């Protein structure tokens, strides 16, 4: 994609001029961590252009080996107390330099992480994991293009009010299912409209927003692009949306299931392959179900379906993530593909150059770099080994009795990843061991806590 044509993206020369004119005072210099959060430093504009552009900056490597509370977690091979928790090198990727229009006089840039001593990419960094798969696709002659449909819930409570209430009895900003409702959407425009506006002003083109299948639930769709740029846009969207909600004294959540009574929030992942000349490679002359496709399309789908259980933890990384997979909820339970069928985990869409695959498994809480990386790895393996998908499913997948099922828990996903020789071969031992420890830690932290549900159920009557 020609980024220079996108409003809000900045060249280095433009940034220097804006810093000189005092139009930019701060450059957020950040990277995505293993949770998918933006971590980094607020750097003065003058220091950024005079020093950081040439030399980068440094940060503690525990940031890729801590939990959500920022506690260093023992057991990671990447870094530890024994190694002294040293630094890694943050190198700005200047193709991501853009305005942060929702903040005053601020720009933002995403960084690649390099090992401090060898000056090579940090192997277990989420952005590095995706970059390796993108380069592998490129070596095979393919550019992976895609999009993520990211859903969220908006609450009348502020973040501070939600915390004071211990996240109980929260009030969604709507009171009824608002799927495609314009009137209820208008009530939420003060925050959703602001998010759309500032995404667009900050170099992240938006297609639309719409009400979703829960009270206070919205979806904002970004323009499709190559996988790495899509993940950069996705992670900035999540960060920007939270800050705009905070500015407007409301809260939003990207939990994949914040309440068992309501619809979950997804990150439907769309994928297609193109060549360097900008030609779509999925359409072709062969009849495949109701579409005309190429063998590449079939094999990519076949590989993705064959490996999805092995990599499912990257789509659903937390114990709570699995509460989303409920029959009749528009979240997948059976592993099947169908044409334009929302009960299927793999939904084939479009014709001709718009022909693409949509996987409905990833939740809104997934780290997009990891989800897109394992998607591309699985699809390329399908092409490499010409893996054929099963026959197209017709009808209600939820009612089918003989289909393989998505994992029902994080423990089940961990076991699938543990026994996957293919994942180790493709992603590497260091990556698999690091993220297995991450997933096990999330499960252990959950298992150690007595929940309010347990107290309500057993306190008096057990």
Give the model's pLDDT for residue 55: 92
Locate 282 and state its tokens. 């999925």
Average pLDDT estimate for 37-64: 96
Helix axes of 227-247 and 189-201: crossing angle, nearest 10 degrees: 140
Q: Which part of the chain has CATH 3.10.20.70?
A: 3-118
Band the pLDDT of 1: cuts 50, 70, 90.
very low
Encode pLDDT of 126-160 as tens digits: 999 999 999 999 999 999 999 999 999 999 999 99
Average per-residue pLDDT for the chain: 95
CATH class of the domain at 134-457: alpha beta
Q: Is the pLDDT of residue 43 over 50?
A: yes
Asked whether the predicted pLDDT for residue 429 surpasses 90, the reply is yes
Candidates 320, 357, 338, 324; CA nearest to 453 is 320
Determine how many CB atoms are found less than 10 A away from the CB of residue 23.
14
Q: Please state the length of the chain.
A: 462
Strands 337-339 and 346-349: parallel
Give the pLDDT band (50/70/90) at residue 401. confident
Confidence of residue 58 (pLDDT cuts 50, 70, 90): very high
State both tokens at 178. 């608002």
Summarised one tens digit per residue, pLDDT across range 289-328 is: 888 999 999 999 999 999 999 999 999 999 999 999 999 8
| CATH code for residues 3-118 | 3.10.20.70
Structure confidence at residue 2 (pLDDT): 42
* pLDDT tens per residue across span 333-365: 999 999 989 999 999 998 888 999 999 999 999
Average pLDDT of span 162-180: 92
**pLDDT of amino acid 5:** 79
Give the mean pLDDT of 79-91: 93
Residue linked to tokens 């220079």:
4
pLDDT for the residue numbered 3: 52
Which part of the chain is CATH 3.30.590.10? 134-457
Give 417's pLDDT tier (boundaries 50, 70, 90): very high
Three-class SS of the chain: CCHHHCCCECCHHHHHHHHHCCCCCEEEEEEECCCCCEEEEEEEHHHHHHHHHHHCEEEEHHHHCECCCCCECCCCCCCCCCCCCCEEEEEECHHHCEECCCCCCEEEEEEEEEECCCCCECCCCHHHHHHHHHHHHHHCCCEEEEEEEEEEEEECCCHHHHHHCCCCCCCECCCCCCCCCHHHHHHCHHHHHHHHHHHHHCCCCEEEEEECCCCCEEEEEECCEEHHHHHHHHHHHHHHHHHHHHHCCCEEECCCCCCCCCCCCEEEEEEEEECCCCCECCEEEEEECCEEECHHHHHHHHHHHHHCCCCHHHCCCCHHHHHHCCCCCCCCCECCEEECCCCCCEEEECCHHHCEEEECCCECCCCHHHHHHHHHHHHHHHHHHCCCCCCCCCCCHHHCCCCCECCCCHHHHHHHHHCCHHHHHHHCHHHHHHHHHHHHHHHHHHHCCCCHHHHHHHCCCC
pLDDT digits (tens, 9 = 90+) for 205-227: 999 999 899 999 999 999 999 99
């Amino acid at each position: 994609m020609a980024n220079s044509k996108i409003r809000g993206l900045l060249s280095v020369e433009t940034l220097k001029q804006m810093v000189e004119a005092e139009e930019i005072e701060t450059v957020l210099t950040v990277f995505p961590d293993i949770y998918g959060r933006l971590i980094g430093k607020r750097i003065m504009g003058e220091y950024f252009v005079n020093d950081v552009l040439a030399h980068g900056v440094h940060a503690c490597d525990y940031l890729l080996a801590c939990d959500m509370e920022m506690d260093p977690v023992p057991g990671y091979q990447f870094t530890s107390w024994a190694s002294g928790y040293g630094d890694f090198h943050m190198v700005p990727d200047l193709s991501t330099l853009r305005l942060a229009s929702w903040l005053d006089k601020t720009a933002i840039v995403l960084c690649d992480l390099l090992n401090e001593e060898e000056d090579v990419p940090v192997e277990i960094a989420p952005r590095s994991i995706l970059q390796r798969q993108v380069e592998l696709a490129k070596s095979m002659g393919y550019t992976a293009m895609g999009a993520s449909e990211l859903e969220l819930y908006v609450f009348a409570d502020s973040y501070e009010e939600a915390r004071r209430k211990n996240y109980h009895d929260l009030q969604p900003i709507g009171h009824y299912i608002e799927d495609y409702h314009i009137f209820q959407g208008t009530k939420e425009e003060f925050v959703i409209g602001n998010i759309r506006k500032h995404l667009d002003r900050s170099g992240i083109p938006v297609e639309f927003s719409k009400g979703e299948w829960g009270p206070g639930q919205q979806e904002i769709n970004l323009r499709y692009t190559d996988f790495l740029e899509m993940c950069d846009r996705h992670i900035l969207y999540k960060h920007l949306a939270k800050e705009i909600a905070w500015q407007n004294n409301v809260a939003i959540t990207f939990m994949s299931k914040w309440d068992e009574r309501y619809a979950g929030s997804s990150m439907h992942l769309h994928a297609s392959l193109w060549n360097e000349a900008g030609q779509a490679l999925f359409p072709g002359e062969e009849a495949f179900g109701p579409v005309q496709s190429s063998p590449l399309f079939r094999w990519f789908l076949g590989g993705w379906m064959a490996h999805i259980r092995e990599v499912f933890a990257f789509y659903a990384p937390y114990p709570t993530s699995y509460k989303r997979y409920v029959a009749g909820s528009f979240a997948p339970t059976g592993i099947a593909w169908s044409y334009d069928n929302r009960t299927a985990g793999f939904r084939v869409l479009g014709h001709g150059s718009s022909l693409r695959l949509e996987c409905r498994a990833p939740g809104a809480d997934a780290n997009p770099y990891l989800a897109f990386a394992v998607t591309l790895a699985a699809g390329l393996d399908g092409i490499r080994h010409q893996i054929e998908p099963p026959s197209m499913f017709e009808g209600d997948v939820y009612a089918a009795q003989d289909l393989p099922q998505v994992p029902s828990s994080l423990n089940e996903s961990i076991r699938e990843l543990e026994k996957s020789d293919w994942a180790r071969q493709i992603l590497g031992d260091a990556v698999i061991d690091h993220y297995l420890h991450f997933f096990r830690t999330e499960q252990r932290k959950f298992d150690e806590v007595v929940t309010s549900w347990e107290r309500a159920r057993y306190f008096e009557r057990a």
